[in-house]
Amino acid sequence: MLADDQIRLQPFMQSDENILWTGHPDRSRIFSSNDLVIVPFSLVWGGFAIFWMAGASSVDPLFALFGVPFVLIGQYFIWGRFLYKRWDRARTLYGLTDQRVLVLHGNTLQSTFVKQLGSVNQTTRADGSGTLDFGGSSPGMAYWGNSGLDFMTRGRMGTAFYDIPDVAQVYRLVNEARAAKN
């Protein structure tokens, strides 16, 4: 009997493809290294938008309406993106087969053939968890990955397994699959 994760991946599998590993991003990890810049920026943005709206409403209430989209964007930057990130992680499934790396967001599949992978970058935390970035994205696009703002760049980013347990084991499996295809 196939595990639930394997059943979710089955419709996307090729007939001669074998699953080597499946996993999920850790939903409890809210912050990433990108937040060192994004959090201060979001507070400045949100604070200025609210300050501007307060000042504009004293001049003309209709003029203050111009600031509403900026306040809403600021609120998303400050706290909404963390809710989105948690929701997205609940529906994200990672898979490694003998032929591809797979990232399934709901019903949207992103995949790369292991023989076409460029660099594979591993980031490991003290507890052994971490991220595998399979390259293919520009530095600017990669910056937004795992931030809660990555939905804006989906389809233009490289593939990555964010915040997975035992990242070194998965890294080893990826390299073994790459070596077997050469």
Mean pLDDT confidence for 110-122: 88
Closest by CA position to 5, among listed 104, 152, 113 = 104
Q: Using a pLDDT cut of 90, give the percent of the chain over it.
A: 44
CATH of the domain spanning 4-11+18-28+92-181: 2.30.29
Tokens of 44: 């400045």
pLDDT at 3: 79
Tokens of 54: 């307060």
pTM over 0.75: yes
pLDDT at 54: 86
Which of 61-70, 77-86, 162-171 bottoms out in mean pLDDT, i.e. has the lowest? 61-70
pLDDT digits (tens, 9 = 90+) for 120-159: 889 899 999 999 988 755 555 556 667 777 766 655 556 8
Query: Which residues contact residue 131 at a Cβ distance below 8 angstroms, ignoring those fewer than 6 apart?
Result: 122, 123, 146, 160, 161, 162, 163, 164, 167
Q: Count of alpha carbons within 13 Å of 109, Cβ hemisphere only? A: 14
Mean pLDDT confidence for 63-72: 87
- In terms of pLDDT, which residue wins out, 48 or 139? 48
pLDDT at 62: 81
Residue 37 and residue 21: Cα distance in Å, rounded? 33
Mean pLDDT confidence for 167-180: 93
From residue 42, give the alpha-carbon distance in Å to each of 64, 70, 150, 168, 179. Answer: 20, 11, 15, 33, 43
- For the chain, the structural domain boundaries read 4-11+18-28+92-181, 35-85
pLDDT digits (tens, 9 = 90+) for 74-93: 999 999 999 988 998 999 99
- In terms of pLDDT, which residue wins out, 159 or 170? 170
Q: Count of alpha carbons within 13 Å of 8, Cβ hemisphere only? A: 19
Q: Using a pLDDT cut of 70, give the percent of the chain over it.
A: 87
- In terms of pLDDT, which residue wins out, 6 or 142? 6
Q: Is 18 exposed, middle or buried (0-12, 13-18, 19+ CB in 10 A)?
A: exposed
